[in-house]
């Protein structure tokens, strides 16, 4: 037998519902053997895990960078944070004007181009600058985008598509969030949605429609009322868009998805009411997947302004339960970046004046899951790997290339030290924004090495304050093919 390139040994290998003590052999970017005891092959390089944990690289289905800066710059800075903290595949979601064209804060209707026109620009930028692999989930902004779906699938391996339901009615929304329309959201309706659902249904598995469910047509009533009442404190943001605004959209669009036989992915499952609607839709025969976010699992309504809102501490525990028992399938970071400091974004005590969104969510994903989830006793290590790696890979058509430690799969691997305790500080992040909302929290359980297709890309050296990049950008676009895995 020949030597393989790399052998991980003496570790706890977690994948597909099992924790096995053993080895993982890597060669030419692929996993070539997993095993235990003496059966390991010879290797040029041996990495002794010393009992630490080896998991598949995280597949994070939702990152939104490019709204506030040129995508090229974002690939540079933001994917470093992903690589540092264990994400090896990123699902990119953006309006078509933000795909690598010169950055403009305001877009005209004409600039909302077809995705097929800008896809190669985006791909080339990513393949020269991204630290991690990436795929694309276009945002459907108008009928033409929905009609483009078959071509996007065939030519570019794009099989997931997203609707931002809160931004359907920009005329109305613009009354209270003026710049939204200029970001490329010029309005669409249920017809645009049914067109997309029909086209995705025709593609068959694993094509899917993703939805940001949040009824802002109703939220505008609450917003007006709260402002009139002089309410400003952060938790008001949750009252502005209460649980039923999210669950109501889930109620409605799981119906159309069922009727049109289109699988649907609920991007932000943050309330018990949403979980109930998802469960009922599944019982009625709809194919529904549910994502939640690490921010929804660890930050309460007092923390910041974001869409959908951060919820109550009580709701958070219900989310963890649903994540543990299978009602929620996956976790996403919802990473964004404004490249602005906290003081530039925040007007303390005034939710209306504070900027929406907060950075460093990609960096927080795996640490929160390890610390609050596994070490917090809320989910098992096996379940962490399911919701962060295997399930997103399956749902988005990347399995078994991604999401699993098994022969033939990409050697995307993360070494985790479950016992490491670190108090989060803003100098630990790589994002251009330079700060994190989790600052000050002591977390236990950290990724300490990230490998992408057989190359170590990030490593947390002893004594360092954070993991650093140890390779140039190696990220590759991941086209997806249809058909059940």
Interface pick for a copy of itself out of 8, 9, 34, 76 (rule CB under 8 A) = 34
Find all residues with CB under 8 Å of 85, minimum gap 6, and list them: 362, 363, 364, 365, 366, 367, 447, 450, 467
Identity of the residue, 38 or 314, whose beta carbon is nearer to a copy of itself in the bound complex: 38
How is residue 69 annotated by DSSP? S
Please give the Cα distance from 415 to 201 (Å, whole number): 38
Identity of the residue, 263 or 467, whose beta carbon is nearer to a copy of itself in the bound complex: 263
Identity of the residue, 43 or 84, whose beta carbon is nearer to a copy of itself in the bound complex: 43
Identity of the residue, 366 or 404, whose beta carbon is nearer to a copy of itself in the bound complex: 404
Identity of the residue, 126 or 248, whose beta carbon is nearer to a copy of itself in the bound complex: 248
Identity of the residue, 193 or 316, whose beta carbon is nearer to a copy of itself in the bound complex: 193
Q: What are phi and psi of 114, to 5 degrees?
A: -65, 150
Find all residues with CB under 8 Å of 56, minimum gap 6, and list them: 15, 385, 389, 390, 402, 403, 404, 405, 409, 412, 413, 414
Query: What number of residues does the chain have?
Result: 485
- Applying CB under 8 A, the span of 29-37, 98-106, 117-125, 336-344 interacting with a copy of itself comes to 29-37
Candidates 473, 471, 392, 481; CA nearest to 126 is 473
Could you tell me if 54 and 24 are in contact, meaning their C-beta atoms sit under 8 angstroms apart?
Answer: yes
Determine, following the binding rule CB under 8 A, whether residue 382 of this chain makes contact with a copy of itself.
yes
First to last CA, the chain: 31
Please give the Cα distance from 269 to 2 (Å, whole number): 48
Determine, following the binding rule CB under 8 A, whether residue 408 of this chain makes contact with a copy of itself.
yes
Identity of the residue, 10 or 425, whose beta carbon is nearer to a copy of itself in the bound complex: 10
Determine, following the binding rule CB under 8 A, whether residue 232 of this chain makes contact with a copy of itself.
no
Q: How many amino acids of this chain bind a copy of itself (CB under 8 A)? A: 63
Peptide bond into 149 cis (omega under 30): no
Determine, following the binding rule CB under 8 A, whether residue 201 of this chain makes contact with a copy of itself.
no
Identity of the residue, 38 or 442, whose beta carbon is nearer to a copy of itself in the bound complex: 38
Identity of the residue, 108 or 175, whose beta carbon is nearer to a copy of itself in the bound complex: 175
- Applying CB under 8 A, the span of 37-45, 343-351, 422-430, 431-439 interacting with a copy of itself comes to 37-45
Q: What is the DSSP string of 261-322?
A: T--EEES---SHHHHHHHHHHHHTT--EEEEEEHHHHH--TTS---SSPP--HHHHHHHHHH
Determine, following the binding rule CB under 8 A, whether residue 36 of this chain makes contact with a copy of itself.
yes
Interface pick for a copy of itself out of 29, 35, 157, 479 (rule CB under 8 A) = 35
Identity of the residue, 381 or 432, whose beta carbon is nearer to a copy of itself in the bound complex: 381
Could you tell me if 158 and 140 are in contact, meaning their C-beta atoms sit under 8 angstroms apart?
Answer: no
CB of 302 to a copy of itself, least distance (A): 25
Please give the Cα distance from 104 to 230 (Å, whole number): 34
Identity of the residue, 4 or 153, whose beta carbon is nearer to a copy of itself in the bound complex: 4
Interface pick for a copy of itself out of 80, 139, 240, 394 (rule CB under 8 A) = 394
x/- mask, a copy of itself, residues 274-313, rule CB under 8 A, reads: -----xx-xx------------------------------
Q: Classify residue 37 as exposed, middle or buried by CB count within 10 Å of its CB (0-12, 13-18, 19+).
A: exposed
CB of 32 to a copy of itself, least distance (A): 4
Helix, strand, or coil here: 99?
A: coil
CB of 381 to a copy of itself, least distance (A): 11
CA Rg value for the chain: 21
CB of 250 to a copy of itself, least distance (A): 10
Determine, following the binding rule CB under 8 A, whether residue 380 of this chain makes contact with a copy of itself.
yes
- Applying CB under 8 A, the span of 15-23, 306-314, 342-350, 418-426 interacting with a copy of itself comes to 15-23
Peptide bond into 407 cis (omega under 30): no
CB of 345 to a copy of itself, least distance (A): 28
Q: What is the DSSP string of 162-219?
A: EEEGGGS-HHHHTTTSGGGGGGT-----HHHHHHHHHHHHHH-TT-EEEEE---HHHH
Determine, following the binding rule CB under 8 A, whether residue 399 of this chain makes contact with a copy of itself.
yes
CB of 463 to a copy of itself, least distance (A): 34
**Sites for a copy of itself among residues 312-331 (CB under 8 A):** none
Identity of the residue, 297 or 393, whose beta carbon is nearer to a copy of itself in the bound complex: 393
Determine, following the binding rule CB under 8 A, whether residue 172 of this chain makes contact with a copy of itself.
yes
Torsional class of 431: left (φ above 0), alpha (ψ -120 to 50), beta (otherwise): beta
Could you tell me if 126 and 477 are in contact, meaning their C-beta atoms sit under 8 angstroms apart?
Answer: yes
Could you tell me if 299 and 312 are in contact, meaning their C-beta atoms sit under 8 angstroms apart?
Answer: no
**Sites for a copy of itself among residues 445-484 (CB under 8 A):** 484
Interface pick for a copy of itself out of 154, 189, 302, 344 (rule CB under 8 A) = 189
Token reading at 405: 């430690």
Q: Classify residue 119 as exposed, middle or buried by CB count within 10 Å of its CB (0-12, 13-18, 19+).
A: buried
Binding stretches for a copy of itself (CB under 8 A): 1-2, 4, 13, 16-18, 20-23, 25, 27, 30-42, 169, 171-172, 187, 189-191, 194-195, 215, 217-221, 244, 248, 251-252, 255-256, 259, 279-280, 282-283, 380, 382, 394, 399-400, 404, 406-408, 484-485
């Amino acid at each position: 037998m020949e030597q393989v390139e790399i052998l991980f040994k003496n570790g706890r290998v977690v994948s597909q519902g099992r924790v096995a003590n053993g080895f993982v052999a890597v060669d030419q970017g692929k996993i070539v053997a997993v095993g235990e005891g003496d059966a390991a092959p010879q290797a040029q390089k041996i990495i002794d895990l010393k009992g630490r944990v080896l998991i598949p690289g995280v597949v994070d289905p939702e990152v939104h960078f490019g709204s506030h800066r040129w995508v090229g710059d974002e690939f540079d800075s933001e994917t470093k944070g992903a690589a540092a903290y264990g994400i090896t595949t990123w699902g990119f979601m953006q309006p078509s004007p933000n795909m690598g064209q010169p950055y403009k804060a305001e877009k005209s209707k004409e600039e909302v181009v077809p995705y097929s026109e800008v896809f190669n620009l985006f791909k080339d930028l990513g393949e020269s600058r991204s630290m991690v692999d990436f795929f694309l989930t276009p945002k459907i902004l108008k009928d033409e985008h929905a009609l483009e779906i078959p071509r996007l699938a065939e030519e570019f391996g794009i099989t997931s598509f997203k609707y931002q339901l809160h931004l359907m009615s920009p005329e109305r929304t613009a009354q209270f969030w003026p710049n939204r329309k200029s970001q490329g959201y010029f309005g669409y309706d249920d017809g645009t949605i049914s067109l997309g659902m029909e086209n995705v249904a025709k593609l068959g598995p694993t094509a899917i429609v993703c939805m940001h469910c949040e009824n802002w047509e109703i939220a505008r009533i609450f917003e007006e009322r709260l402002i009139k009442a002089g309410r400003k404190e952060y938790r008001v943001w949750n009252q502005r868009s209460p649980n039923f605004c999210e669950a109501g959209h889930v109620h409605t669009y799981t119906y159309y998805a069922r009727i049109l036989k289109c699988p649907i992915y609920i991007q932000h499952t943050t309330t018990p009411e949403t979980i109930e609607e998802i469960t009922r839709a599944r019982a009625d025969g709809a194919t529904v997947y549910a994502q939640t976010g690490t921010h929804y699992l660890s930050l309460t309504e007092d923390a910041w302004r974001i869409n959908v809102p951060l919820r109550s501490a009580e709701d958070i525990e219900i989310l963890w339960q649903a994540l543990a028992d299978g009602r929620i399938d996956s976790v996403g970071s919802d990473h964004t970046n404004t490249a602005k400091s906290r003081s530039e974004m925040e007007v303390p005590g005034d939710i209306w004046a504070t900027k929406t969104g907060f950075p460093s969510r990609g960096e927080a994903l795996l640490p929160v899951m390890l610390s609050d989830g596994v070490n917090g006793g809320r989910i098992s290590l096996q379940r962490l790997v399911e919701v962060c790696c295997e399930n997103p890979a399956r749902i988005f058509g990347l399995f078994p290339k991604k999401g699993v430690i098994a022969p033939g799969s990409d050697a995307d691997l993360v070494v985790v030290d479950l016992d490491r305790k670190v108090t989060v500080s803003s100098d630990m992040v790589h994002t251009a924004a330079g700060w994190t909302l989790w600052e000050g929290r002591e977390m236990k359980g950290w990724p300490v090495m990230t490998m992408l297709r057989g190359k170590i890309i990030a490593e947390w050296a002893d004594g360092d304050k954070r993991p650093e990049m140890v390779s140039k950008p190696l990220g590759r676009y991941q086209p997806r093919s249809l058909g059940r895995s």
